[in-house]
A = this chain, B = another copy of it.
Amino acid sequence: MNASSSTISNVESLDIGKNLNVIAGGITSPKGFKAAGAIAGIKKNGKPDMAIIVSDIPAACAAVFTTNVMKAAPILWNQRVLAESQTAQAIVINSGNANACTGTQGMANAEAMAVSCGAATGISANKVLVASTGVIGVQLPMDKVISGIVETSKLLSASADAGYDAAVAITTTDTYEKQVCVQFSLSGKIVTIGAMAKGSGMIHPNMATMLSFVTTDANITAELLQKSLKESVASSYNMISVDGDTSTNDMVTVMANGQAGNPLIETEGDDFLLFSKALDFLNIEVAKTIAKDGEGATKFLEVTVTKAPSLHDARVIARSVVSSSLVKAAFFGEDANWGRVICAMGYSGAQFDPAKVSISMSSAGGQLPLMADGEPLPLDEELAKKVLAEKQILVDISLETGDCHATAWGCDLSYDYVKINGAYRT
């Protein structure tokens, strides 16, 4: 654990709970942001597939990208833009085609998207980020993409409806759009952070995530924004899994345009900690909505590991359990097969003492103890049925070998996951 992550955990004492309000809204809720979503015709089903986010002024920008070696063209473009200056003013996003594994043509197409969006919005192309999601290995239909960008840019608005339209346009197999918004006070000024994201397959982020776009009117340096984002990703997006596949296109960005008017956050003081805690809260909420809407999901799973020797071990174990196909299938079948939970703990790579492990499951249906101090407990099948019939299930694992803890989120593995992914391109 590095010094910075221990700093963040100190935020607990700042009592942001009373200060933080979750409000209806999304990326257009912070001051000085506009958005739009529209139909460009990239998706075969005629649904919205083009979104644009614009800040009124250039914004400090932080981002974390996929660790997949096969980075999609937009990822490579964005890395180039942000290496030049840690600022951005617009993001153009298409769904229906990932522009991944598309070679040199794909790189040219990603750049063309930035140039077109820049021209349509009056922003320099090297301040425009690009994101794509959808099928891999197929070239973008650039005629539709370019005209789609032009038409979408005409709809840019700061309204809540415009934010909603953008959130809808970036979805693929998602069953609902994903927006989260929080407000809190910073040195006497109201600061707002909004987000939109897409799931819901190929979700197993590693140092980055699916697509999540965060906007805020907070006044903060790009360096501290990046630091805050990087730490938050480790406890939010990186702790969810739908299917164990880390995408070629994962990215999360935060644009901070300073329009809230708070004194610039340029040191790691209380304002930085408050902002970081709010961003962390928001990111965890976004991550949970993605896990809940996992492809084919019928149940939402939350796995908490406590009393672990290190934060790393706690995270590795929680994520291994929530990623296991066998664990996920058992929850779909409402089968209290906790042996699969402990099996997934065992192959996670983390070390622990099997003789000290305790496991229980709980839900609105009750609390079900399963193992205590390494010994299996008699299973109450009636209670198990009640607990597992619920839509939201918690798995509590205690290792009794330390004081670190972590939580991971996921969903069950259903027939519909197979159905959705058996014919994704068609």
Contacts and interface: CB of A to CB of B under 8 A. Distances in A.
B325 A244 contact: yes
Interface in A143-164: none
Contact of A245 (B136, B206, B324): B324
Contact of A137 (B329, B347, B376): B376
Interface stretch (A31-39, A101-109, A402-410): A101-109
Chain B CB count within 10 A is highest, among A105, A330, A347, for: A347
A103 B335 CA distance: 22
A419 interface: yes
A339 B324 CA distance: 23
Choose among A324, A370, A376 the residue with the greatest number of B CB atoms under 10 Å from its CB.
A376
Contact of A343 (B247, B348, B376): B247
B135 A424 contact: no
Interface stretch (A5-13, A65-73, A264-272): A65-73
A339 B204 CA distance: 16
Determine which residue in A103, A104, A338, A374 has the highest number of CB atoms from chain B within 10 A of its CB, and name it: A103
Interface in A409-426: 413-415, 417-426
Contact of A335 (B350, B413, B423): B423
Nearest to A327: B245
Interface residues of A, number: 71
Nearest to A373: B103
Contacts of A352: 69
A330 B68 contact: no
Given A248-B346, A375-B104, A335 B426 contact: yes
Given A103-B375, A375-B104, A245 B418 contact: no
Interface string A99-139: 01111110000000000000000000000000000011111
9 contacts: A71-B354, A136-B339, A137-B338, A139-B376, A245-B325, A247-B343, A326-B421, A329-B417, A329-B418
Given A101-B354, A248-B343, A325-B421, 10 more contacts: A100-B343, A103-B355, A103-B375, A136-B339, A139-B376, A245-B326, A246-B343, A325-B417, A329-B417, A332-B418
